[in-house]
Structure 1
Amino acid sequence: MENSENQEHQPTNFFQSTTAKLIMVGILTLVLLIPLNFVQELIFERSERKKEVVNEVTELWGTDVHFYGPTLRIPYKTYTETSVVDAKTKQVQIQKTTYIDYAYFFPEQLKNKSDIKKNTSLKRGLYNNVVFTANMNFDGYFVKPNFEKLEIKNEDILWNKAVIVVKTTNLKSIKSDLNIKLNNQTFVFESKAQDDKFYGELETNNFDYNLVNADGKINFNFSMLYNGSNSVKFIPVGKTTTINIDSDWESPSFEGSFAANTDSKTITEKGFHADWKVLHINRPFAQEHLEKMPNLNEFLFGVKLIETVDEYQQNERASKYGFLVIGLTFLIFFLIQSISKISIHIFQYSMIGLALIMFYTLLISITEHSSFTLAYIIATISVIVMIVLYSFSILKNRKFPLFIGASLTALYTFIFVIIQLENYALLVGSIGLFLILGAVMYFSRKIDWKNN
């Protein structure tokens, strides 16, 4: 009798205790972070490969479209005087040397209307490269420059050698004839060599500024058709600059020094419309400049055409929840093991963990040939079915495997919702984790830790 009581109260071997099993499961969870990290590196590698391909295609098709101009350039004479002493007579003579400098004048009014159409036909290998064609129309007018303000005499001004200058990126991707109409006279833009590594330069042939109309203005009008990608931006050189952009792109990002008008800005699934109006008082630079056009890139504004979350970003975000999925799945099996007294070997935990990691390799490989949503559904069903069928052989009944299947379905659904959300991802994730913690606390209350 005494012996049987001693046997009943004989302490369990530590390595067979619940505490030891919990420690081993925890260590296994940490070990599985190694293959999970390999999967994340694979996602990063595939993402970098896509960027390389996209860069190759956009370099051929066309990159960012940034526009600086038009600007009126008028040459004028400057003089330097040098004193020269005659060696024989010792008389001082004044030699006068003439140089040509340039004055640059921005337009009084600049208006632009741009229509941007996305092009999804470019494909290289697995990757679709979303680029666009931009049809841009410009009009406005210059007023007669005030050279007195610049302390330049009227007789030194070469009015008959004025030109219109436009600086723009992506010269190779302009797909239209470049004609500019100045008060009903047509001039042709020609590409000019210059030192600016960011912009290419276009300028007209010389014209006589005296073609001003009765109002003392030179009206201009011209159009440009671009192949481009990523962004369309402008520098507000007009004393009043008005920009209107329409596009069928559904995910714009408005960037730069000036915000789009909130009253007229619209974004829908079919595209967007945006307006900007910038006055001279809104920008800290003058309407006229001497010697050269200033660098005003810091005042660029416009729209960046983006993919809100591409497939590799979604895969990367999904993989970041890998530790959570493995840990919670192991916790479910551990709670079932502890409550039902069913023995689950550490090798069986390993097989379940590897199946969970295979989810991410399935996800990225299927995503590259279809959409992320379809890939997520296929990978989720495949992994859940595999784990549920394996659980039938481990747990020897139907109740627990079905519960595991329902739990994993809820977990993967929860993660998918978080991945799709942008503004509320943190809020929904925090609420979800709080509820999961509450459920774990509820089910773990039946475990008798004193005898383990």
Structure 2
Amino acid sequence: METKRSKIGNWFKTSISARMLIVGFILVILLIPLGFVKDLIRERGFRQTEVIQEINQKWGNQVTLYGPIIKIPYKTYKEEKVFDAKSKTYIKTYEDVFHNAYFLPENLTINAQVDTESLERGIYESVVYTSDIELNGSFKGFDFSAEEIPDEDILWNKATVFMKTTNLKGIRNEISIQLDTNKFSLKPQFNDQYMSTLSSGFIKKLKADSILSYSLNIKINGSEQLQFIPVGRETLVRMKSDWHSPSFNGNFLPDDKTKKITKDGFEANWKVLETNRQFGQQFFDRLPDLSAFSFGTDLIIPVDDYQKTQRTSKYGLLIIGLTLLVFLLIQIISKIDIHPFQYLMIGLALVMFYTLLISISEHQNFLKAYLIAGTAVIGLITIYSRTILKHIKFPLLIGGSLSALYAFIFVIIQLENYALLVGSIGLFIILAIIMFASKRIDWGQS
């Protein structure tokens, strides 16, 4: 029995295949703590999202402005036949049915000054803003001919003007609209599925050929995003901000010739014509949801340490696998005996890199956290390998290999457009090095 155990033990010590099986098994085992670390990174990222959402809700959420729009009621008639028992005939009756017509402005010019600030709660940060928005333009004519509505059935004296916004809570001033010589206060009227509505009192002396100029100012708190819907036949938007990292989004992009982005802020101008959209200037009976045509700016925090840590952890299996492979090649070539427990300790040290990285990055910038975590882990493994490997050249090889590998991963996660290209080239070079290094192995021992 002891002879059989001795033969098995010698086989594990002398067989290359056995060593590869053991290292492969250890690598599979290390996937368990590595998975726990990835879950921890996701959990911390979700926590960051929750805290930022809470900050934003108290300050003011994303802002989309829609309007101004003039609403004019009108009526049609529903014919009904009622049977008269005395005359034994049907008598026609007519019932009034009330509808609304919605007219968009001829011109809409928006000037938005966006002043940002960063709010912190503990280790988390969110960018919020206060925006002074000036809107002006004109309405030109109110034509009901498409619906063949006679003038006497149009309730001109019941016309109102209204605005819609996704963030009623963030408004910081009493909003009044100057409509020609008249001034109307806009008050919350009702809520629909996606926007809150501010509506005025009745507009008097409105006629089919009326031309009305308008102007209004809104001061509003918001977070992350500011957008507008191009309701004007010609919509001009000028946005200026002190934020250095805008992301222009939505259905329309700003003019590249006038767009300026510097470390001190940005300026952007949009021009949207009726022909650029897929809707007209008037709607009858129902105002559709036009939020799909919104455009504007995201005010993003460019460095998200949790995203970078998560991207780094995706290369965890690669780093652990390559490091254990280097130790295995050294063991095979130099005939040095490395115990499976020592492989396991080296693998766990590599897993610890990610917990160090995420914990330090919550209090320092990502570069400093990466340097500290990488230096600690590389130093630990290099010193530990000195105790199990005979020659100083092997620990130096381990330290140099890990340093190059971590530097390579850091470069990849900083790239966006060229990450796949650089990563593919790097992996090709690593594979070539391993292939030629393995030529020195006597595979007859397998």
Equivalent residues in 2 for 1:187-266, closer than 5 Å: 187-194=184-191, 196-210=192-206, 216-266=210-260
- Asked whether 1:351 is paired with 2:341, we answer no
Query: Does the 8 Å contact 2:70/2:161 carry over to 1?
Result: yes
**C-alpha contact 2:73 2:156 (8 A) present in aligned 1:** yes
Any residues of structure 2 matched to 1:97-116 within 5 Å, and which?
97-116=95-114
Change (3 A) 1:140 1:336: same
- Do the aligned partners of 2:106 and 2:233 also contact (CA within 8 Å) in 1? yes
- Helix, strand or coil at the partner of 1:129: strand
Is 1:416–2:396 an aligned residue pair? no
Secondary structure of 1:298's counterpart equals helix
2:18 to 5, 17, 20: 20
Report the alpha carbon displacement of residue 336 of structure 1 after superposing the two structures with TM.
Answer: 2.0
Partner Cα distance (1:405, 1:244) in 2? 55
Superposition deviation, residue 353 in structure 1: 0.7
Q: TM-score, normalised by structure 1?
A: 0.91
Deviation at 1:409, TM superposition (A): 1.0
**Residue 107 of structure 1 aligns to a residue in which SS?**
coil
Which of 40, 54, 59 is matched with 1:42 structurally?
A: 40
Measured in 1, the distance between the counterparts of 2:263 and 2:205 equals 47
Query: Using the alignment, how far apart are the partners of 1:216 and 1:76 within structure 2?
Result: 17
How far apart in 1 are the matches of 2:210 and 2:302?
48
Instruction: Give the Cα separation in 2 of the matches to 1:447 and 1:278.
Output: 69
The answer (yes or no) to whether the contact 2:250–2:296 under 8 Å persists in 1 is: yes
Q: Which amino acid letter does the alignment assign opposite residue 199 of structure 2?
A: E
Work out the CA distance in 2 between the residues paired with 1:209 and 1:245. Answer: 35
Letter of the structure 1 residue corresponding to residue 270 of structure 2: W
Match of 1:294 among 285, 288, 293: 288
C-alpha distance after superposition, 1:316-361 (max 9, x if no partner): 1111111111111112222222222222111111111111111111
| Amino acid across the alignment from 2:32 | I
Which residue does the alignment assign to 2:175? 178
Equivalent position amino acid for 1:137 in 2: E
Q: What secondary structure is seen at the aligned counterpart in 2 of 1:441? A: helix
1:78 has 2:105 as partner: no
Deviation at 1:278, TM superposition (A): 1.5
Contact residue 183 and residue 211 of structure 1 kept, 8 A: no
CA contact 1:65–1:233 (8 Å) conserved in 2: yes
1:140 aligns with 2:134: no
Q: Measure the CA separation in 1 of the matches of 2:210 and 2:184.
A: 19
Q: Is the 8 A contact 1:211 1:218 kept in 2?
A: no
Contact 2:127 2:299 in 1 (8 A): no
Instruction: Give runs of ≥4 in structure 1 deviating > 6 Å.
Output: none
Q: In the superposition, relative to structure 1, how do residues 153 and 351 fare at CA in structure 2: closer, same or farther (>3 Å)?
A: same
Distance in 1 separating the partners of 2:87 and 2:430: 104
Are 1:144 and 1:216, in contact at CA under 8 Å, matched by a contact in 2? Answer: yes
Instruction: Specify which of 135, 141, 152 is matched with residue 155 of structure 1.
Output: 152
Give the aligned partner of residue 323 of structure 2.
329
Bigger shift: 95-104 or 348-357?
A: 95-104
Greater shift in the superposed pair: 170-179 or 149-158:
149-158
Aligned partners of 1:353 and 1:370: how far apart in 2? 26
Q: CA deviation at 1:150?
A: 3.0
1:83 to partner: Cα distance:
4.3
Q: Cα distance 1:92–1:350, how it changes in 2: closer, same or farther (>3 A)?
A: closer
Q: Is the 8 A contact 1:162 1:209 kept in 2?
A: no
Residues 90 and 434 of structure 1: CA distance in aligned 2, closer, same or farther (over 3 Å): same
Q: 1:169 aligns with which of 166, 170, 174?
A: 166
**Residue ranges of structure 2 left out of the alignment (5+ in a row):** 1-6
Closer, same or farther in 2 for the Cα pair 1:395/1:143, shift >3 Å? same
Alpha-carbon separation, structure 2, partners of 1:144 and 1:209: 13
Change (3 A) 1:82 1:402: same
Cα distance change, pair 133–211 in 1 and its aligned pair in 2 (3 A) = farther
Aligned amino acid, residue 200 of structure 2: T
Contact 2:127 2:300 in 1 (8 A): no
C-alpha spacing 1:446/1:84, structure 2 compared with 1 (3 Å)? closer
- The aligned counterpart of 1:69 is 67
- Cα distance in 1 for partners of 2:83, 2:421 equals 85
SS, match of residue 405 in structure 1: helix
Q: Do structure 1's residue 376 and structure 2's residue 370 form an aligned pair?
A: yes
In structure 1, runs of 5+ residues without a counterpart are 1-9
What are the Cα deviations for residues 228-269 of structure 1, in whole angstroms up to 9, with x where unaligned? 123222221111112222233333333222233233333333
- SS for the counterpart of 1:450 is helix
Contact 2:142–2:210 (Cα < 8 Å) also in 1:
no
- Alpha-carbon distance in structure 1 between the residues aligned to 2:123 and 2:105: 47
Deviation for aligned residue 1:308: 4.3
Shift of 1:211: 9.2
Q: Which moved more, 1:289-298 or 1:321-330?
A: 289-298
> 1: distance between equivalents of 2:317 and 2:187?
60
